[in-house]
Structure 1
Amino acid sequence: MRRARTGAGRVQLGKPSSNLFRFGDRDTGRGAHRLDTSALDGVLAVDPGGAAARSAGGAPVSTAEVQGMATYETIVAATLPHGLMPLVVPQLKTITLGGAVTGLGVESTSFRHGLPHESVREMDVLTPAGELLHVTPDGEHADLFAAFPNSYGTLGYAVRLVIELQPVRPFVRLTHRRYPTATAVAGGISELAGSGADFLDGVVFGADEQYLTTGEFVDAPMPGARVSDYTGQEIFYRSLQRRPVDHLTVHDFIWRWDPDWFWCSRAFGVQHPLVRRFWPRRYRRSDVYRRLVALDQRFGASNRVRSALGGTAEEMVVQDVEIPVERLAEFLEFFHTEVGIAPVWLCPMRLRGERAWPLYPMEPGRLYVNVGFWSSVPERPGDRWAHNRLVEAAVADLGGHKSLYSTVHYDEDEFWAHYNGAAYRAVKERYDPDGRAPDLYRKVTGR
């Protein structure tokens, strides 16, 4: 159906929070009419018995009907009491379901269940043209369903989605394995991705210290084992170096990275024992840290301080990239040499099924590794984004892909070559013929 609208100007989602890392002059929203979606933030229903959904083989599938602005924190709170969770829960609490589907999300179940959009069975999408469409994989708007992932709101906004859920058990037992080289950790990923583990991810502390973590659902900890709590004084990522085996409640496991934003809380001193003791626990959250970064980027405070002290301005290098597992060692060698940020997150992933997704053309059946790095390095004189450009070039050379939630520096022709410009333009013309939303290149580059 078509919804009434006024004027013919640009439109943009009016979100109260964001997990994007594009600030200041990269914002394309100036002058756009902001759509108030603040009320679309709930879980409408949970169907734990699979009464409304069936698999291709006819088995019941547990699902949740969720509004697009619902955060994963809200979704998990609604599904865990039923002994269920989404197939993939991105690692930060305030990522929204709509954001993870129109962007990309990844977590330690992604080697088994792919990306969040692959568990969507249907959705209602408000297009920039003002139409509210019911979108399914095989229906009238199958082209929009396929192109929606990695479109970042430029083809419309999901206001309601039905997603598949998986059963959980009360605890997760973690096993941390250390690897001495990038080649060894890549081999470990290939081996463990074929195991019966429920979860798999890892951390690179340096070229000679890498860990892979497998997680298994269990009903209770091993006899005599403690259940860890990383919402207090202890820090999760440091436990990989100290505890070969660990146990968490399923709730705390899902959100294990959020209290310290992986390891990025150290930039605010929160990992110092004294600061941590007095930093209120309710403010040890990724969204709090992200707001602090946004303020710093808006006013350039940290670089002003560095300049006043005679230091060098720093380039923010915040990216997630997908590298084929057989090229991972090459990428890590490049990264240690040319960028030098540590730690680095590793998250194995492969598409859930045989279906390909046109705007993020990964090969079905192929194992990739998401490499996440989030810090800053000294700027190179005369090139504010030198390190980010190096990363983009290396990813392309190794047959990988780069997520678009942060800064993007490809020129336009190269961008569309990587992100299937022909497929995008066909869908854009159908669902936004007047260009009320920016196209994807303009949206993610600010150009």
Structure 2
Amino acid sequence: MQELARRIRGSLLEPAPGEFARDFSRLTRIPPRAVVRPQTVEDVQETVRYAHQHGLRTVARGHGCSANGQALSEHLVLDIHGLTAFERTGELEVKVGAGFTWGDLQDRLNALGLSNIVLTDYRSHTVGGTLSVGGFGSMSLFHGGQVDQVVALDIVTGTGELVHARPEGPHARLFQYTLCGLGQTGFIAHAYLKVARNRPHALNFADSPYSTETLASITRRVLDAPQPWDHCLVLHYLAFQQNMVLLARDVEEEPAELPEGAQFLPEFYRYKNTAATGVMSQLLHGLKEAGLAKSEEDVFHLWNDYFVPSDKADAFRQIHQSLFKDPRFTMGTYGTILRARPPGSRLPLSPMSSGAEVINTFSGPYHTIPKSFLDEYRAKFDQAIDACLSLGGRVYLYGYHPKSADFYRRQFGAETFEAWRAVKAEYDPGSILGAPLF
């Protein structure tokens, strides 16, 4: 490893700090031999060349918020936080380093009067990490995921070559299978993103609070609104066994008079982030009070998201609710409604299955589980995954799922799965990139 340390400008940590042996779920512990903190893309290239020469499995790690060991390796981990290049490449396009967090990027864009088109609820997640799985949130209603805002990528392949890839051209398949591809075909160095004019605030509406309306009816009502919504969340509370639909429209400034039923939320993105992170703290506090946990070290985070065709959403919800009933471990689920993939999208590994016009997402259940319940809840998650796939849906791969060829073949279909493997074989001939999946 000292040879590698001499070849890079960044730092090499050997032994690796303990936090790199786990991801957010804490389900798996895999201590890496070393952690590389690159300062430049050239550092990433040198690290991958070294790994290729010596047969060392290497993963890129952003915030480490995955829930199934996707950012763990027994050999090398690339901590990408130092890759924070930024360049405005067009009126509504920017080039950003993979290590930029979405929160820092949003702040940088806001200073220019711009904004990301789609954001999730978590400011601390990195661009490279999110684009390796998808990136969906309340703003995805008509815009798709964060991956659907990418116009080009600079990718470090499994031999250390830096490749510029676009949806068209000689490396189109590398572009298509790197987005949502779990770091298997290459590491994202830079992403070229579409952006929009900034409207930082929101008018928030709680539509039909605690409604028992079906998801099919809610979906049609939201999509048929005379004025399109910018945000949509459909929440299900275990305590009430009912839904709440939250809808919002972005605005540049507070109106002189609020529309009926509206709540003005300044800096809406920051508000959503605070609300999302507060849920986990509440769950852990409840487990402590119940004597089921003493600290964060006593629990595991079983997370998953499901993308189900809208005409099957109510059927999936019934199955889902029959499995997850205990409010000690989760407050419920939330999700959104997605139109079919945006025009021109050619991302075969996207969780938005290509055959559905409209998709309902079920985010969660974001479970915080004491060790004594872990096996029971893993079995429940396996049942939910099976139900999702049986109904024609897809599982979001940042979360818990079976890491097996049979699962990926079932999720994506045999043709897409074999194409993914072929792209990996072409651009990562030593099979050193990403966690072992196939």
Give TM class, smaller chain. 0.7 to 0.9
Deviation readout 1:238-278 (Å, 9 max, x if unpaired)? xxxxx9521112x33354133542622202439x9xx9xxx
TM-score (norm 2): 0.76
TM-score, normalising length from structure 1?
A: 0.75
Stretch moving more, 157-166 or 371-380: 371-380
Is residue 435 of structure 1 aligned with residue 435 of structure 2?
Answer: no
> What do the CA deviations read for 1:121-152 (whole angstroms, capped 9, x no partner)?
11100112211101111021000111112211
Contact 2:232 2:337 in 1 (8 A): yes
| TM superposition shift of 1:81 | 2.2
**What is aligned with 2:304?**
319
Match of 1:39 in 2: 82
User: Are the counterparts in 2 of residues 88 and 107 from structure 1 also a CA contact under 8 Å?
Assistant: yes
Q: How many residues get paired?
A: 374
Which residue does the alignment assign to 1:366? Answer: 357
Measure, in 2, the Cα distance between the counterparts of 1:246 and 1:411.
Answer: 46
Q: 1:424 to 1:136 in 2, by over 3 A?
A: same
1:359/1:169 CA distance change after superposition, 3 Å: closer
* Match of residue 404, structure 1, among 392, 397, 400: 397
Contact residue 151 and residue 440 of structure 1 kept, 8 A: no
Deviates more, 1:106-115 or 1:169-178: 169-178
Structure 1 440/34 Cα, relative in aligned 2: closer, same or farther at 3 Å?
closer
| CA distance in 2: counterparts of 1:381 and 1:216, whole angstroms | 40
Query: Does residue 82 in structure 1 map to residue 128 in structure 2?
Result: no
Give distance in 2, aligned partners of 1:144 and 1:210.
Answer: 41
Quick check: 1:348–1:369 contact (8 Å CA) kept in 2? yes
| TM-aligned CA deviation for residue 408 of structure 1 | 1.4
Alignment check: 8 A CA contact 1:178 1:209 kept:
no
Write the letter of the residue equivalent to 2:427. Y
Corresponding residue for residue 63 of structure 2: 17
Letter in 1 for 2:254: P
**Conservation of the 8 A alpha-carbon contact between 2:63 and 2:126:** no
**What is the alpha-carbon distance in structure 2 between the residues aligned to residue 320 and residue 100 of structure 1?**
14
Q: Distance in 1 between matches of 2:162 and 2:248?
A: 40
Alignment-mate amino acid for residue 246 of structure 1? Q
Gaps of at least 5 residues in structure 2 are 1-40
How far, CA to CA, are the matches of 1:431 and 1:247 in structure 2? 49
Matched, 1:209 2:201: no
Contact 1:355 1:364 (8 Å CA) reproduced: no
Task: Give the aligned partner of residue 180 of structure 2.
Answer: 150
Equivalent residue for 2:274, pick from 258, 261, 264: 258
- Structure-1 separation of matches of 2:343 and 2:231: 18
Is the contact between residue 103 and residue 151 of structure 1 (CA under 8 Å) also seen in structure 2? yes
Confirm or deny that 1:184 pairs with 2:214. yes
Q: What does residue 123 of structure 2 align with?
A: 93
Deviations 1:163-219 (A, max 9, x none): 001123342101111266665343222221343112222211147421222211224
Instruction: Report SS of the residue matched to 1:266.
Output: helix
Partner of 1:119: 149
Instruction: Verify the 8 A CA contact 1:353 1:364 in the aligned structure 2.
Output: no
Equivalent position to 1:248, from 252, 261, 265: 265
- Which of 349, 356, 381 in structure 1 is aligned with 2:346? 356
Q: Which amino acid aligns with 1:441?
A: L
Q: Is this contact kept in 1: 2:177–2:423, CA < 8 A?
A: yes
Structure 2: how far apart are the matches of 1:200 and 1:377?
Answer: 28
The whole-number CA distance in structure 2 between the counterparts of 1:184 and 1:16 is 38
Task: Using the TM superposition, give the Cα deviation of residue 376 of structure 1 relative to its aligned residue in structure 2, in angstroms.
Answer: 4.1
Does residue 1:167 correspond to 2:167, yes or no?
Answer: no
AA aligned to 2:273 is W
State the match for 2:9 in structure 1.
none
Q: Report the alpha carbon displacement of residue 417 of structure 1 after superposing the two structures with TM.
A: 2.5
Q: CA 1:174/1:423 → structure 2, altered by over 3 Å: closer, same or farther?
A: same
Q: How many Å apart are 1:377 and its aligned residue?
A: 6.0
Q: Look up the equivalent residue of 2:343 and give its one-letter code.
A: G
- AA partner of residue 262 (structure 2): V
Alpha-carbon distance in structure 2 between the residues aligned to 1:21 and 1:400:
20
